[in-house]
Structure 1
């Protein structure tokens, strides 16, 4: 990155610079892309910056994901799933072999019954000899078949338990992989999945809404009081959001100081009321040092809203909610803005106005 670009990052709202960079390079507004560009602009990882610059001015999503897989493996954790898939495939193959063996055993037993019936039908043999032979053969064959059946059942139960254990491990992996370690909210990966799910059924999309929220002047907390206080700010915001919203509402920390709320079964009026309630709750929550009594100042958030009916894809929904968020920033912060079509042109022309 050039010295001029670095200086712009220092003087401009970082999140705004990320959005502007993504627009300039034609990068889709996916959460994982946001984190990649954010780290390129703000981290000291020279190797990451060099690789990003090397892919050129209009990178493909495949090129971005190659870099993301290398530096942000939490978005590309396929290894655990692949191992689990291999284990389950092995167990299923084992079950199939057992069932085939059982089928073969039953077919043999069926043939034996047929042969025995034929022997019973032979009129030349005495009844006593026939019955003695039949009882001996059937007793032995039935005992073997039952023992083999018990063994098959035992193996099947054992393999079923193994697959249940794999399922539990996958569930735990998914829980950990989808949780932000600092705030204990859902993370960007979970948000990506939830956002994509909105448009799985176009008929239900009209009942969904997205709220994106950004802590105002978050960098000042870190610069003035240090990162531990910044982390505490994130924790306080997460706790307030969880206590303010219903437990069934999806809340995520999508990166840095940005959060997102996905609502379903809602309207624009209800969504606006919910966003405003969150804003007021954050604003009224004090942030003080419990030992020294030092007041770190108020925490405020700017929020942007977009209804799912105003977008055709998850990416577009996120992008438009983001436009509303930065309209809130431009209007003075600590407020809620709703996406309007005119924001598309306004943000493209005036993003340089969103400075601290």
Structure 2
């Protein structure tokens, strides 16, 4: 049997070329650096390539991380969280050491008091010598302890200020990580966390409803007017939903043109009223380009509603609310449907995608 001979030119090993180039420029071969140089090699981002070329062989890790934070924030947000956690742990360790020192100082002071007491109780010395010696010991020990105490108080205050700043930094990282960049609402991660918390509290579960909201015919909007217009409409829809709910309502964009609302301390009737309110307000909101006069509307919503008591867990609650949403779509759109047992459960969706 004759073996066929290939005439194809061997494909260059891109990974090896990039690694070699990084080594020649003295760049550490770590994943986040490799991603930068890989993108530069592909030429998909000319500005990134230009910035890396400007660094030449003088690139420090700080310079590279600064570029990475601009172009690959999805990686560097998590690195920032890790860095803040590490700093916080370090500050806490310093504070614990300080408190241990304070404990040692107090124990030493107690030993001084014991020594003074023994001198006072010494019957072989004269009264004047006993008192003089005891007073000298106590005065010196008290002065030293007070000075050390003042210094430690100042240090504790400083550590507390530093830890508060780090805590705020961590809160900001979490806010960014849980925020949808387009609508400034919560994202899917924040939604999953908030929905899970409902089932950690029986009282909360008894009076919580989930609204799953979807923009009708949104694909047609994107196809007709382009994604930039679609993004503006998504942002406006998010604003309208947020503005027409109580301040304590949780609102998230869970993906594409879909939003979710978690209403706590609410009855089924109140959840339905809230859904109809945002749907009605949006249907009457003009979507028009003030410069060109082009009308993008009307924009309408379909809403599925399910109460937490009707579901076994967060996944089941989302599933049932989405079945109700599908029923709203099938029955003509621009309407609100409450989940009821017996609704057709095969809504055409692959439910495994929600297991996250």
TM-score w.r.t. structure 2 length? 0.73
Does 2:166 align with 1:176? no
TM-score w.r.t. structure 1 length? 0.73
Match of 1:66 in 2: none
Match of 1:122 in 2: 122
Does 2:273 align with 1:281? no
Match of 2:222 in 1: 222
Match of 2:208 in 1: 208
8 Å contact kept, 1:211–1:275: yes
Aligned counterparts of 2:276 and 2:342: Cα–Cα separation in 1: 22
Moved more, 134-143 or 292-301: 134-143
Structure 2 CA distance for partners of 1:111 and 1:221, relative to 1, 3 Å: same
Aligned-pair CA distance for 1:150: 1.4
Aligned counterparts of 1:344 and 1:93: Cα–Cα separation in 2: 57
> Hey, which bits of structure 1, 4+ residues long, moved more than 3 A?
72-85
Does 2:257 align with 1:249? no
The Cα offsets for residues 10-29 of structure 1, whole Å up to 9 and x where unpaired, read as xxxxxxxxxxxxxxxxxxxx
Query: 1 or 2 for the larger relative contact order (CA 8 Å, sep ≥6)?
Result: 1
Match of 1:155 in 2: 155
Match of 1:22 in 2: none
Does 2:197 align with 1:197? yes
Aligned counterparts of 2:334 and 2:305: Cα–Cα separation in 1: 14
Aligned counterparts of 1:308 and 1:210: Cα–Cα separation in 2: 7
8 Å contact kept, 2:286–2:297: yes
Structure 2 CA distance for partners of 1:348 and 1:218, relative to 1, 3 Å: closer
Q: Looking at CA atoms only, which structure, 1 or 2, has the larger radius of gyration?
A: 2
The Cα offsets for residues 68-109 of structure 1, whole Å up to 9 and x where unpaired, read as xxxx99699654444333333222222222222222222122
The Cα offsets for residues 236-277 of structure 1, whole Å up to 9 and x where unpaired, read as 211211222222221111111001111112222222222111
Match of 2:145 in 1: 145
The Cα offsets for residues 294-321 of structure 1, whole Å up to 9 and x where unpaired, read as 1123101111111111101001101111
Does 2:329 align with 1:339? no
Match of 1:309 in 2: 309
Match of 1:24 in 2: none
Does 2:226 align with 1:232? no
8 Å contact kept, 1:75–1:189: no
Show structure 2 runs of 5+ residues with no match.
1-71, 352-356
Moved more, 259-268 or 211-220: 259-268
Give the SS at the match of 1:343.
coil
The Cα offsets for residues 159-215 of structure 1, whole Å up to 9 and x where unpaired, read as 111111111112222222222221122221211111111111123312111010111
How many residue pairs get aligned? The number is 279
